[in-house]
Amino acid sequence: MGSRHPLDLIRLPLLCAAALALPLAAGCSADASSGEKTAQPASLQELAKQTDCKVTGTRKVEDLEQGNCKTSLGRYVLVSFTTDKGMNAWLHEAKPWGGWYLVGARWIAVSEKPTLESLRKELGGKIVQGDHHGTGHSGGQHG
């Protein structure tokens, strides 16, 4: 059937806990003088409440919890983590699959970039792009 998306692979953080961690956690809070919201650690339920989402399809493992949302902002997946190390390992494994990620303080939202830009107004965080495939461009951090 083809490759699986990282959202289907919630076991990866457990398998990759010892993997290299990306130093993203320090870059997740916005400059207070910029007027942007500062990302705060939050559980899946707290993230859902902040975005007016009734979470469906929840999955929970030892160090993360994931759920799906569909609101007026769009469709997105929320993932909350118990540690920065677990979040960074998950993101390290997810980025090669491409896509867009809103990275907060021990949480990540996954969706299309316009949806994440809207969520960023509610949650704070930094938008990170996964790797491109076949375009000759590499992924990077935006916003």
Q: Which long-range contacts (CB under 8 A, 24 or more apart) does 131-135 make?
A: 131/95, 131/96, 131/97, 131/98, 132/98, 133/98
Within a domain: 101: yes
Within a domain: 25: no
Within a domain: 18: no
Number of domains in the chain: 1
The helix/strand/coil state of 111 is strand
Q: Mind listing the pLDDT tens digit for each residue in 2-29?
A: 555 544 444 343 333 323 233 333 333 4
Within a domain: 140: no
Q: Mind listing the pLDDT tens digit for each residue in 93-127?
A: 999 999 999 999 999 999 999 999 999 999 999 99
Q: Which long-range contacts (CB under 8 A, 24 or more apart) does 116-119 make?
A: 116/76, 117/143, 118/73, 118/74, 119/51, 119/73, 119/76
Contact 72, 78 (CB under 8 A): no
CB atoms within 10 A of CB 86: 21
Within a domain: 56: yes
Give the mean pLDDT of 126-136.
79
Rounded to the nearest integer, the mean pLDDT of the chain is 78
Within a domain: 138: no
pTM of the predicted protein model: 0.70
Within a domain: 121: yes
Within a domain: 16: no
Residue 91: domain span: 37-132
Q: Mind listing the pLDDT tens digit for each residue in 70-91?
A: 999 999 999 999 999 999 999 9
